[in-house]
Amino acid sequence: MTAIELLAFDSNGGALKGHRLPLAGPGSSCSLRLRSLPGASGVHLALTNGEGVLLRVEVAAESDEWVEVDIDWDAGGRWSVASAGRRVLQLPIEDANAPLPPLRPAYRARQLDVALLVDGTMRAETATLLADRKLWGAHAEQLVALIEGLTAAMRADLRVAVIAFGDRLVPATSAPDLRPAYHLDPAEPEARTLRPMDSGQLRARLLSLRPTSGGDLVDALADALAACRQLRWRNGARKLLVVTGDSPGYSIRWPAPWGSNAQVRENDVDVEAAALHREGVELVSLYHAPAIDAATFEFVRPFVDHARMQYLRLASRPGLCFAAGALDPAAAVRALTSRVPVLGRGASPGILGGPGRGRQHRK
């Protein structure tokens, strides 16, 4: 009989390969234990017989969580997968439904490419943060310290791009305070480049950024992520994208609360994050939690929760999402240099951990 294999990682995120399952043919079943990859939102199970994929299934899971899975191959040759208390989604077997490739951070690289995405609309109290030179200057110093610390820890040759995002003009808007100063800054694609910068040059670039109105809650974060796909990332470099802000971008799968978005959008944050992951770019997010008074808390909480969860989802793993108000650059450097062999995004192949609750049995 042809062996049935599961595509999974070895222990500790080693090689992705086929692992033979203890299935004796139609009428048998088995239980498995798998751990989801750091950064993944589920486990992708692909069963093969050496000639092609027989079954694709996604099992919902948190990042780095253990999952118990029961696989049943009934007497009629049909497959079913169950996992107690979890959502299980069966997919068509075609390659178009294969998971994103895993990302293996280039910890040993001696080149470091960093794109800093700055939300020009983020607010501190009632004013745009970038308009308060003291507050923005303090945060800029934290960003400089973060990049300095990581460059020193890696002993790397550094290139940096700094891009700010606002939004496009909301149709039929006339109020001056709702008219964005820019969509992306720099506006010209050729000016958005990774280039060598020392600490003084990086500081000066950050302090030169202008504040802007976003008009509505959803801003041009997805467009900024799309622009970063066009940067000339170096082959072999460690590639990092750091988002700092409080405005969410447009998402089809996880839409913002009603009334948050007044425009037709071209790009989607989750699509762009997945494309950057495919290109080997790690995402770091710094979320600026707004100050909320008790009188408006219940009204604004859905909007704040939406933005916070999107910034958490954008990070390549939960440990790379930071609260900007409590950011410790040294701790962030330690998180970025702690070795996590492989990162997932979306549902990814799991790390095989051996049999689950039950052993293989023949019906």
Domains, the chain, in order of start with CATH, read 5-103+344-362 (2.60.120), 111-337 (3.40.50.410)
pTM of the full predicted structure? 0.92
Q: According to the model, what pLDDT value does residue 178 have?
A: 74
Q: According to the model, what pLDDT value does residue 1 have?
A: 57
| Cα–Cα dist 127/21, whole Å | 59
Q: According to the model, what pLDDT value does residue 354 have?
A: 62
Contact 66, 60 (CB under 8 A): no
Q: According to the model, what pLDDT value does residue 356 have?
A: 52
132 three-state secondary structure? coil
CA dist list (Å): 109 to 60, 154, 157, 234 = 33, 7, 9, 11
Contact 251, 270 (CB under 8 A): yes
b or e along 221-249 (b: 16 or more beta carbons within 10 Å of the residue's beta carbon)?
A: bbbbbbbbeebebeeebbbbbbbbbbbbb
Q: According to the model, what pLDDT value does residue 216 have?
A: 79
Question: Helical H runs in the chain?
Answer: 133-154, 199-207, 221-228, 269-278, 297-314, 329-337
Q: According to the model, what pLDDT value does residue 106 have?
A: 96
Residue type, 81: V
The one-digit pLDDT tens for each residue of the chain (363 residues) are: 578 999 999 887 788 999 999 998 899 999 999 999 999 999 999 999 988 999 999 999 999 999 999 999 999 989 999 999 999 999 999 999 999 999 999 999 999 999 999 999 988 766 789 989 999 999 999 999 999 999 999 999 999 999 999 998 877 677 777 788 999 999 999 999 999 999 999 999 999 999 998 777 899 999 999 999 999 999 999 999 999 999 999 999 999 998 888 788 999 999 999 999 999 999 999 999 887 777 677 777 889 999 999 999 999 999 999 999 899 999 999 999 999 999 999 999 999 986 554 334 444
Q: According to the model, what pLDDT value does residue 2 have?
A: 74
**DSSP letter (8 states) at residue 341:** -
Q: According to the model, what pLDDT value does residue 179 have?
A: 83
Cα four-point dihedral sign 314, 316, 319, 324 = negative
CA dist list (Å): 288 to 220, 225, 243, 314 = 17, 18, 11, 14
Contact 236, 197 (CB under 8 A): no
Q: According to the model, what pLDDT value does residue 126 have?
A: 63
Which residue in 260, 258, 325, 318 sits closest to 284, CA to CA?
318
